[in-house]
């Protein structure tokens, strides 16, 4: 399935009282598109007509088993781009008709963590997350409007602009991992985040990027998107192929993107002496990882586990998307209307798409 770019328009939308569509996650495995009353923005807020909402691994996990921070039924979807339909009082940077792209969270700016430049750990970020992007309209909170919302360039497709949030997570992870141009990097997991990491590394000019994963189709996509090598971890010889990389020393940097304990253990085992490991994928609740402390110490390993993003990561992700050098839109290989949202998640379950653009 080939994605069709959403039409880029800055036409003003007439907002009239009435009912609009909103997708709800009612319980794990059950979605409903309901009619709800059209909301109106309060002070500092924006009402956005959604031009594109993007599927996300977090949404898929929530669809499968719920989410510890979402009380069901909950408005669903958080990656989006659209057009401002109405502005709340005090909004100065946006007007109705403006094309907009935004992250769904923003820090408070005044807590302990914000004061130390760790805005990704601010409790407000997750507590006040903007949810409900699988809808005709989305209310964007004042905290996001003030810090993590941007005017979308006319030449940037809406579906690529909707990748701002996941790319911000990737930017944050790579900022602390500090990949070098001479590095050999192994990415474990050929899903959307793994391939977004790969595209970002390619844009940085990293010497060699290897993608290890399962499934012929996903590895084909990785190869087509620019991986230097792909390794099917389900096939014999996978470990030897990775060990032979980098002149036989193994990867300098390993980025784990499966969110499974087995993936975390593989990442630790496969990095070279003196290398760095990024545990990017979040594992299920109450899971643990046993580490060989002797190897960790005497092999001088650096283990990193980045979470979420900071405003400076969002700004950098915005600049990268606007430069059009990343080609992030290439990971969007599905395109369906909001009315077929159940089929969208069925395709995600089957692994038939990487990212699907949901167009109201």
Cα dihedral 287→293→298→302 (10° resolution) = 30
pLDDT (tens digit, 9 = 90+) per residue, 234-243? 888 888 999 9
**Please, what's the b/e burial string for 190-224 (b: 16 or more CB within 10 A of its CB; e: otherwise)?**
bbbbbbbbbbbbbeeebebbbbbbeeeebbebbee
Domain boundaries, the chain: 19-167+309-359, 169-304
Mean per-residue pLDDT, 50-76: 91
Q: Are strands 229-232 and 208-213 parallel, antiparallel or unpaired?
A: parallel
The answer to whether residue 172 scores a pLDDT higher than 50 is yes
Q: Is 19-167+309-359 in CATH node 3.60.110.10? A: no
Q: Which fold has domain 169-304?
A: Rossmann fold (3.40.50)
Distances in whole angstroms, Cα of residue 116 to Cα of each of 67, 72, 106, 113, 168: 28, 34, 15, 5, 19
Instruction: Out of 47-51, 112-116, 239-243, pick the least confident.
Output: 239-243
Cα–Cα distance between 162 and 168 in angstroms, integer? 11
Most distant CA atoms of the chain, gap in Å? 66
- Going by the DSSP 8-state scheme, the letter that residue 178 receives in this structure is -
Give the model's confidence band at 150: pLDDT under 50 very low, under 70 low, under 90 confident, else very high.
very high
State the pLDDT at residue 237: 87
The residue ranking higher by pLDDT, 143 or 58, is 143
Q: Are strands 184-188 and 208-213 parallel, antiparallel or unpaired?
A: parallel
Query: What are the tokens at 18?
Result: 């009435």
Kind and range of the H or E run holding 24:
strand 19-27
Cα–Cα distance between 269 and 250 in angstroms, integer? 10
Give the model's confidence band at 257: pLDDT under 50 very low, under 70 low, under 90 confident, else very high.
very high
Kind and range of the H or E run holding 213:
strand 208-213
Give the model's confidence band at 123: pLDDT under 50 very low, under 70 low, under 90 confident, else very high.
very high
Instruction: Out of 10-19, 145-154, 239-248, 282-291, pick the least confident.
Output: 10-19
Q: Are strands 99-102 and 184-188 parallel, antiparallel or unpaired?
A: unpaired
Task: List % helix, strand, coil for the chain (3-state, nearest 5).
Answer: 35, 25, 40
Other beta carbons less than 10 A from residue 248's beta carbon: 8
Q: Which region holds residue 99: left if phi is over 0, alpha if psi is between -120 and 50, else beta? A: beta
State the pLDDT at residue 54: 98
Instruction: Out of 12-21, 28-37, 129-138, 335-344, pick the least confident.
Output: 12-21
- Going by the DSSP 8-state scheme, the letter that residue 180 receives in this structure is -
Other beta carbons less than 10 A from residue 226's beta carbon: 16
Cα–Cα distance between 195 and 183 in angstroms, integer? 17
Kind and range of the H or E run holding 22:
strand 19-27
pLDDT (tens digit, 9 = 90+) per residue, 69-106? 888 899 999 999 999 999 999 999 999 999 999 999 99
CA 354 from centre of chain: 12
Cα–Cα distance between 76 and 26 in angstroms, integer? 9
pLDDT (tens digit, 9 = 90+) per residue, 200-236? 999 999 999 999 999 899 999 999 999 999 999 988 8
């Amino acid at each position: 399935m080939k994605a069709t770019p959403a039409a880029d328009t800055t036409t003003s939308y007439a907002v009239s009282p009435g009912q609009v569509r909103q997708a709800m996650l009612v319980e794990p495995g059950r979605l409903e598109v309901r009619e709800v009353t059209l909301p109106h923005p309060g002070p500092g807020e924006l009402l956005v007509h959604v031009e594109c909402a993007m599927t996300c691994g977090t949404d898929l996990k929530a669809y499968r088993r719920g989410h510890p921070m979402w009380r069901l039924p909950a408005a669903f979807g958080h990656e989006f781009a659209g057009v401002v339909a109405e502005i709340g009082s005090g909004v100065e940077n946006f007007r109705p008709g403006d094309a907009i792209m935004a992250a769904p969270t923003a820090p408070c700016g005044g807590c302990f963590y914000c004061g130390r430049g760790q805005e990704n750990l601010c409790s407000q970020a997750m507590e006040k997350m903007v949810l409900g992007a699988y809808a005709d309209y989305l209310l964007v909170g004042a905290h996001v409007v003030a810090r993590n919302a941007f005017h979308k360039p006319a030449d940037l497709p809406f579906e690529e602009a909707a990748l701002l949030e996941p790319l911000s997570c990737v930017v944050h992870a790579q900022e602390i991992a500090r990949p070098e141009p001479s590095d050999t990097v192994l990415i474990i997991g050929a899903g959307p985040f793994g391939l977004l990491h790969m595209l970002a590394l390619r844009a940085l000019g990293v010497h060699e990027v290897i993608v290890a994963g399962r499934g012929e189709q996903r590895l084909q996509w990785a190869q087509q998107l620019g991986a230097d090598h792909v390794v099917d971890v389900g096939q014999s010889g996978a470990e030897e192929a990775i060990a032979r990389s980098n002149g036989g020393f193994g990867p300098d940097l390993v980025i784990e993107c499966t969110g499974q304990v087995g993936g975390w253990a593989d990442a630790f085992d496969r990095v070279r002496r003196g290398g760095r490991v990024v545990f990017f994928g979040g594992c299920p609740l109450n899971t643990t990882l046993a580490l060989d402390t002797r190897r960790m110490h005497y092999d001088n390993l650096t283990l990193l586990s980045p979470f979420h993003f900071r405003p400076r990561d969002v700004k950098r992700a915005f600049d990268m998307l606007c430069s059009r050098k990343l080609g992030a839109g290439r990971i969007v290989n599905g395109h369906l209307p909001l009315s077929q949202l159940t089929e969208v998640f069925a395709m995600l379950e089957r692994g038939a798409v990487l990212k699907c653009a949901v167009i109201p």
